[in-house]
Amino acid sequence: MSGNTSFDFSALTERQKYKLLIGAVVPRPIALVTTVDSQGRVNAAPFSFFNCLSAEPAILALGVENRHQDLAFKDTARNIRITGVFTVNIVSDSILAAMNVCAVPFAPGIDELQEAGLTAAAGDKVACPRIAESPVAFECKQHVTLEIGASRQIVLGEVLAAHIHSGLVNDRLHIDPYGLDAIGRMGGHGYARTRDYFDLPTMTISEWEDLKRGPSARKSSSI
């Protein structure tokens, strides 16, 4: 190790903090979020300030910035305020290019799904559609929205329903990570695939003690 380059966050600009955070907190999952506006018009946009924070209640979180130019709400944030619902569509490699089209800052009312050639499938429990091509979609209702600054919200949504492509989930509810083929967001314009997959079970105390004692101890304890 060659020491650290340290940063006092109180001395950094917004942009500098952003660059350090998104470059280091990787890979981030990507939610392609579908919503509808007050007239029922469909909107879709990707968010990588996104994660699953709790299983009971089942909570997904989105970090949404306002638009830089005028601090106006992004369509996604505004639609969630109005309708109280949204759908998170997981981004697989097969819809990566379409996801990137949905990130274009289209005017409100433009249907990004149509622009990107994606198919809207009606929601079961929410007014907004899910994306048929997405391997997993979670229908959510807004649980709470945290105003964490003048221009940012963290939206917590409770999952009401999940739709998973058949064949990706088995009867033990394990999801096939290869079939899912999820994309992660790295820093800048970088992305990562999730095909370098491996298992690493958490050890019990006794398994850890055995491991610390070394191979000979493991051999004798198994006799």
Ligand X SMILES: Cc1cc2nc3c(=O)[nH]c(=O)nc-3n(C[C@H](O)[C@H](O)[C@H](O)COP(=O)(O)O)c2cc1C
**Can residue 45 be called a binding residue for ligand X (CB under 6 A)?**
yes
| Nearest CB to ligand X, comparing residues 30 and 85 | 30
Least Å distance, CB 154 to ligand X, is 10
Which CB sits closer to ligand X, 76 or 83?
76
Q: Rounded distance, CA 45 to CA 102, Å?
A: 5
74 counts as binding ligand X under rule CB under 6 A: yes
Among 48, 83, 89, 92, binds ligand X (CB under 6 A): 48
180: enclosing H helix or E strand: helix 177-180
Choosing from 27, 63, 84, 187, the residue that interacts with ligand X (CB under 6 A) is 63
Whether 168 contacts 177, CB under 8 Å: no
Query: Can you tell me which residue has the tokens 């952003």?
Result: 18
CA 35-37-42 angle, 5° bins: 50
Choose which of 47, 85, 133, 156 interacts with ligand X (CB under 6 A): 47
Does 52 participate in binding ligand X (rule CB under 6 A)?
Answer: no
Rounded alpha-carbon distances, angstroms, from residue 196 to 44, 135, 178, 181: 29, 19, 9, 10
Q: Would you tell me which residues interact with ligand X (CB under 6 A)? A: 30, 43, 45-49, 63-65, 74-76, 100, 103, 105, 185
